[in-house]
Amino acid sequence: MADADFMPIKNWDHIEFYVGNAKQAAHYYCSTFGFVPVAYAGLETGLRDRASYVIQQGKIRFVLSSGLGPESPIAQHALLHGDGAKDIALEVPDAEQAYHNALSRGAKSAMEPTVTEDQHGKVKRAAIYTYGETIHSFIERSNYNGPFLPGYRAIEPTAAQLARDCGLRAIDHVVGNVELGKMNEWVKFYEDVMGFTQMIHFTDEAISTEYSALMSKVMEGGHGKIKFPINEPAVGRKKSQIEEYLDYYRSPGVQHVAMITGDIITTVKKLTEQGVEFIQGISSYYDELEGRVGKIDEPIEELAKLGILVDRDDDGYLLQIFTKNVQDRPTVFFEIIQRKGARGFGEGNFKALFEAIEREQALRGNL
Ligand code: FE2
C-alpha cells in the first residue's frame, strides 16, 4: 500500500481543541460526554502562557487548551474561529521521518521535530499544516510512559467522574469543511503528502436537499485506521450547512469528530441523560426504516425514541446520531457511530439528516 511506503501511521494520538476557557470546556466534556480528566499542564506545572486539560474515554483523547493572555496564539485562534479543533494529532513510529517526508512532498511546516522529556521518558514530535489553520502533529511516543506528554502532570479521575463513562471507545473519522472548489486540492494533499487513498466520493446529486448541497470525498490512511472525509459546499438554492460553518469558523476547519461505541442505544441514552443534545430526525423516517435497511438487531421503537439513524451498505449496517453544535457558533459537532460491518458513513441518511440540520439553520436565521 502507498501509505506504508513513506507515511506509516500507528493510530490517532489525540485531538487538541483551542477554546476560550479550557477549564470549563474540560468540565463540559467530562460531565456530559463521560470523559475523565487524565492530565494537566498550566501555571502550576511551569507553563506561563496557557492551560491544557487532557481528557480521555476509551482510546479517545482530547486536549482542551486556552491562552492566558491576548498575545497568546491560542487565545487569538479562539477569538477568530471560536472554540475549534486545532490539531488532529497522529501517532507515528518516526516523527522526524514523517515530517521530512511530508515536507519534501509539499507540506507546510507547523513545528520542526522537537524532543521533550521528563522522568517518564522521551517524546519526539513535529507538525504540518492541513486545511485552514488546522495542523497534524506527528507524535512518536514509543519511549514514553507518562500520563500524556512531558510536562503534563497526571490527574486521578474521581469515582463520580468514572461513573459518567458513556461507552465511547475510539475515534472513527474526522471531517473537514473546505471552501467551494477546494475539495480536490485537499484530496490531492492527502494523497501526495500523506500517502492516503480515496475511499469514497459523494457527489452533490447524492447529497442535496431542496435547499442546499455539498460534495464529499473520504481519504483513508494508516491501513484504514485513519479516515478524513472532506466536504465542500455545492451550489444550492440557499446557504449550505458547509457555507454556514465557513462563515462562522472564518476558515476551513474540522466540522465533526465521529466516535465509536459498541452499544449505541446504551451510549445515547446515557449521553442524553447527562445533557448532550442531539439533532432529532422526523418520525416518518422510522416508518420507512425496515423497508430501506432490512432486518436489524435493535428495536426500531428504541431507535426512534432516541433519534438514532441506520444505514446499510454491502458489508453490513451502521447506526449513527449527530449532536447539536457544542459551542455558540454553528461550527463543530460530534457523531456517535456503531458499525455492524458497514464501512460507509451513512450516505442513506444524508438527506434526512441535512433536512434536520436545515431546520436548525433556519432557526438561526442562516438558511
Ligand atoms: Fe461522519
Quote the CA–CA distance of 31 and 276 in Å, as a whole number.
10
pLDDT tens for the chain, 367 residues: list them. Answer: 444 578 999 999 999 999 999 999 999 999 999 999 999 999 999 999 999 999 999 999 999 999 999 999 999 999 999 999 999 999 999 999 999 999 999 999 999 999 999 999 999 999 999 999 999 999 999 999 999 999 999 999 999 999 999 999 999 999 999 999 999 999 999 999 999 999 888 777 767 777 677 889 999 999 999 999 999 988 776 788 899 999 999 999 999 999 999 999 999 999 999 999 999 877 789 998 999 999 999 999 999 999 999 999 999 999 999 999 999 999 999 999 999 999 999 888 888 888 888 888 989 999 8
Quote the CA–CA distance of 53 and 178 in Å, as a whole number.
28
Distance from residue 124's CA to the centre of ligand 1 (Å)? 31
Distance from residue 227's CA to the centre of ligand 1 (Å)? 10
Distance from residue 44's CA to the centre of ligand 1 (Å)? 38
Quote the CA–CA distance of 88 and 200 in Å, as a whole number.
21
Distance from residue 338's CA to the centre of ligand 1 (Å)? 11
Task: Please list, in sequence order, all residues whose beta carbon lies within 8 angstroms of the beta carbon of residue 276, skipping any fewer than 6 positions away.
Answer: 32, 33, 323
Distance from residue 337's CA to the centre of ligand 1 (Å)? 8
3-state DSSP assignment of residue 135: strand
Which helix (H) or strand (E) segment is 140 a member of?
A: strand 135-140
- The pairing of strands 109-118 and 121-129 is antiparallel
What pTM did the predictor assign? 0.96
Quote the CA–CA distance of 228 and 257 in Å, as a whole number.
10
Distance from residue 47's CA to the centre of ligand 1 (Å)? 35
Residues 183 and 230: beta-carbon distance below 8 Å: yes
Burial letters 185-195, b for 16+ CB under 10 A, else e: ebbebbbebbb
Distance from residue 71's CA to the centre of ligand 1 (Å)? 35
Distance from residue 258's CA to the centre of ligand 1 (Å)? 6
Distance from residue 335's CA to the centre of ligand 1 (Å)? 6
Distance from residue 160's CA to the centre of ligand 1 (Å)? 30
Distance from residue 261's CA to the centre of ligand 1 (Å)? 14
Distance from residue 116's CA to the centre of ligand 1 (Å)? 34
Distance from residue 225's CA to the centre of ligand 1 (Å)? 15
Distance from residue 154's CA to the centre of ligand 1 (Å)? 32
3-state DSSP assignment of residue 284: helix
Domains of the chain by range and CATH? 11-162 (3.10.180.10), 168-364 (3.10.180.10)
Distance from residue 84's CA to the centre of ligand 1 (Å)? 17
